[in-house]
Amino acid sequence: MSNSVISVISRFLEEYASSTPNKLKVIDAYLLYIMMTGALQFLYCLLVGTFPFNSFLSGFISCVGSFILAVCLRIQINPQNKGEFLSISPERAFADFLFAHTVLHLVVINFIG
């Protein structure tokens, strides 16, 4: 049983390393970074306590928001999805990404206290 799981995972990693374009891998690395930051913040909250709660929320929401926006960017940039995003060029997707981040950070900084 575990054998098949391991073989599936190794296969997946192989496929990923070979067939994913570099740009997407860069974004994936960014996604990993965001996820780890959020996880570490959550761990702190669990261990030490929720004071100050607003700061924890704003930091955590910032991670979650950034993750979502990066995922959207990845989807829109992926050449395999070109058919679904005919009107949106990769540059346009990036510009949207930046704008959305500005709004997100405005809110996050407001709430962080």
Partner 1 sequence: MYPFEGLFSLLVLSLVLETQALTPTHHLTTTDVARLQALLSQPFTDLKSAYYSVVGLSKLGISVADAATCRFIKSNLDPSSVESLFFAAEASQALPGCEIPVSNDTRDLLLATVSEDSTASQIHQSVSALSSLGLPLASQEVVSALKARISKEDNVLTIILALQTASRLSQQAELGEILEEIEDLAARLDDLGGVYLQFEEGLEATALFVSAAYALSDHVDMEPPIDQVIQLVNSIFSKKSWDSLSEAFSVASAAESLSSNRFHVPIIVSAQGPAAISHSQPFLRLQVTNVLCKPLSSASVLVESATATSSKSAILSQAPFTLRDGVFELNFMASQPASGYYQFSVAIAGDSRFVANHVELKVKVSTRVSINNMDLSVVDKDQSIGPKTTRVEYPAKAKASFMADSHQIFAMTFQLVDETTGVELTPHQTFVRLHNQKTGQEVVFVAEPDSKNLYKFELDTTERKTEFDSISGTYALYLMVGDATLENPILWNVADVVLKFLDEEAPSTIQAKTLYTPKPEIQHLFILPEKKPPTVVSNEFTALVLSPFLLLLILWFKLGANISNFTLSPSTVLFHIGHAAMLGLMYVYWTHLNMFQTLKYLAIIGSFTFLAGNRMLAQKAVKRLVDNLAAKLL
Q: Which of residues 10-49 bind partner 1 (CB under 8 A)?
A: 22, 25-26, 29-30, 32-33, 36-37, 40-41, 44, 48-49
Nearer to partner 1, 12 or 44 (CB): 44
Nearer to partner 1, 8 or 52 (CB): 52
Task: Name the residue among 59, 15, 68 with its Cα closest to residue 39.
Answer: 59
Task: Name the residue among 8, 70, 60 with its Cα closest to residue 36.
Answer: 60
Interaction of residue 60 with partner 1, rule CB under 8 A: no
Nearer to partner 1, 6 or 98 (CB): 98
Rounded CA-CA distance 30/40 in Å is 15
